[in-house]
């Protein structure tokens, strides 16, 4: 019997499902995916429609709700919600340095990790749907960020399973390469840097001072790993979030302390940096991030560490050049770089497998453009005008290419609006689906 837990206002039920590692070999190795069913207290026995939540990432488990927090309150007014821990995350069979060490060589690890993209996640969801709803049952989906990528993969593979789909900040480009993604991303990140420095002009010199110090000194984070200038620049991941610029500013405020030999970076600052730059909690984010854009029909060259290759086209992100020229040091954004696998202890053992994935050129297509061109499933998508993580123009091109996609383009929110808007964004999309907006 599934375990059930009661929280204030909700009833939570655990589900675990065996699925094939490789869905093309259903009799081969099996892994587990975990999902948490959430229903409003008092409505457990109602025949509510299901809403499958597809988390952002890749490589992040679903939210761990306490009561009807964030967007969940809006969802539970209309649905029975299923929070899926995508394969490799949360309570599903893990995929990290510890578990992958048992899989053998880097080649064997890479072959295993190749099954952790959106196409496999969708096929897992289909196993779950058939178990919970039956073969003819249909459910709705809510895809946040990478969850929107999974949504388009779902529409490509099993549209018959979907009643409707909601997407928040996650309509992917259907025919764009990893190079296209990062060539569009760097200018957006530069704009977020400019906005941050306009809001907090004092941070220009604060960041330059920290970067100059890191260039001249060996500094280590609480886990003993090095804090380099480029790793410090990775704090720019914050700049695409609703309050991220403020979080970054307050972190910088506490950077310095006077030690025995003079000013040095404080333990509190280094702990804060570690919390932002360590990928120990979600190593899959780094390992399969660029693979999330790889499709053989778009490019057979592999991603080849696209973010690193393309960085040279945007010299403003060169911290050494900025320091020498008296210019602001720019933070980077949602980019994965090969040096991360040399510095982060959670990633170092996976370096060879990650390089093999970056070199792979025969990735299956994620999106069936012919099937999507005939789409009949209603899709309601929030597109954020200044989204740092997902390109607005790529999203709108997809909306034009796929029938029955209705977009709400807004500059009122950032990429994390689903979480921070207290249900406002989701209610807007549900209202669109109900003909109320």
Q: Which of 145, 156, 278, 421 is catalytic?
A: 145
Three-state DSSP string of 53-98:
EECCCCCCCCCCCCCCCCCHHHHHCCCEEEEEECCECCCCCECCHH
The answer to whether 133 and 351 are in contact (CB under 8 A) is no
Helices and strands: H and E segment counts in the chain: 19, 11
242 annotated active-site: no
Look-up of token digits 């499709």? 295
Could you tell me which of 268, 305, 288 has the C-alpha nearest to residue 179?
305
CA distances from 283 to 30, 55, 407 (A): 21, 15, 32
The answer to whether 163 and 387 are in contact (CB under 8 A) is no
Q: Which of 115, 196, 394, 415 is catalytic?
A: 415
362 annotated active-site: yes
| Tokens representing residue 81 in the block | 């919600």
Q: Which of 27, 136, 261, 362 is catalytic?
A: 362
Q: What is the 8-class DSSP label of residue 365? A: P
115 annotated active-site: no
Question: Which runs of consecutive H residues, i.e. helices, occur in 174-317?
Answer: 178-199, 202-216, 229-233, 244-253, 267-277, 283-287, 306-311
How many of the other CB atoms lie within 10 Å of CB of 261? 6
What are the φ and ψ backbone dihedral angles of 13, each rounded to 5 degrees?
-130, 130
Q: In which element (H, E) is residue 358 found?
A: helix 351-359
List the catalytic residues: 145, 362, 415
């Amino acid at each position: 019997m599934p375990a059930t837990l009661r929280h204030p206002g909700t009833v939570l039920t655990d589900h675990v499902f065996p699925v094939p590692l490789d869905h093309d070999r259903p009799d081969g190795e099996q892994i587990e995916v975990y999902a948490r069913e959430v229903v409003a207290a008092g409505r457990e026995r109602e025949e509510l429609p299901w809403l499958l939540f597809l988390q952002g990432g890749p490589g992040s488990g679903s939210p761990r709700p306490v009561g009807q927090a964030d967007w969940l309150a809006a969802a539970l007014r209309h649905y029975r919600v299923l929070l899926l821990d995508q394969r490799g995350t949360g309570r599903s069979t893990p995929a990290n340095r510890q578990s992958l060490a048992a899989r053998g060589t880097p080649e064997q690890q890479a072959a295993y990790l190749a099954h952790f993209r959106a196409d496999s996640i969708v096929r897992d969801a289909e196993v779950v749907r058939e178990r919970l709803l039956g073969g003819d049952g249909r459910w709705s989906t809510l895809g946040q960020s990478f969850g929107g990528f999974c949504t388009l993969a779902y529409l490509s593979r099993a549209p018959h399973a979907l009643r409707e789909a909601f997407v928040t900040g996650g309509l992917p480009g259907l025919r764009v390469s990893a190079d296209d993604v990062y060539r569009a991303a760097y200018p957006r990140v530069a704009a977020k840097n400019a906005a941050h420095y306009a809001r907090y002009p004092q941070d220009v010199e604060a960041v330059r001072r920290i970067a100059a110090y890191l260039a001249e000194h060996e500094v280590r984070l609480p886990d003993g790993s090095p804090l380099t200038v480029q790793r410090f620049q990775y704090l720019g991941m914050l700049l695409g979030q609703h309050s991220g610029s403020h979080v970054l500013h307050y972190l910088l405020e506490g950077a310095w302390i006077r030690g025995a030999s003079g000013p040095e970076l404080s333990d509190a600052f280094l702990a804060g940096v570690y919390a932002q730059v360590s990928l120990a909690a979600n190593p899959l984010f780094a390992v399969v991030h660029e693979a999330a854009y790889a499709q053989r029909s778009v490019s057979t060259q592999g991603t080849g560490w696209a973010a690193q290759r393309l960085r040279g086209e945007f010299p403003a992100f060169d911290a050494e050049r900025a320091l020498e020229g008296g210019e602001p040091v720019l933070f980077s954004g949602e980019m994965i770089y090969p040096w991360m696998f040399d510095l982060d202890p959670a990633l170092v053992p996976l370096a060879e497998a990650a390089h093999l994935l970056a070199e792979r050129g025969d990735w299956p297509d994620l999106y069936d453009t012919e099937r999507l061109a005939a789409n009949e499933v209603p899709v309601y998508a929030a597109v954020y005008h200044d989204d740092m993580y997902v390109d607005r123009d790529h999203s709108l091109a997809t909306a034009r290419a796929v029938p029955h996609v209705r977009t709400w383009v807004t500059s009122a929110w950032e990429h994390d609006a689903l979480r921070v808007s207290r249900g406002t964004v989701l209610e807007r999309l549900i209202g669109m689906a109900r003909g109320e907006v």
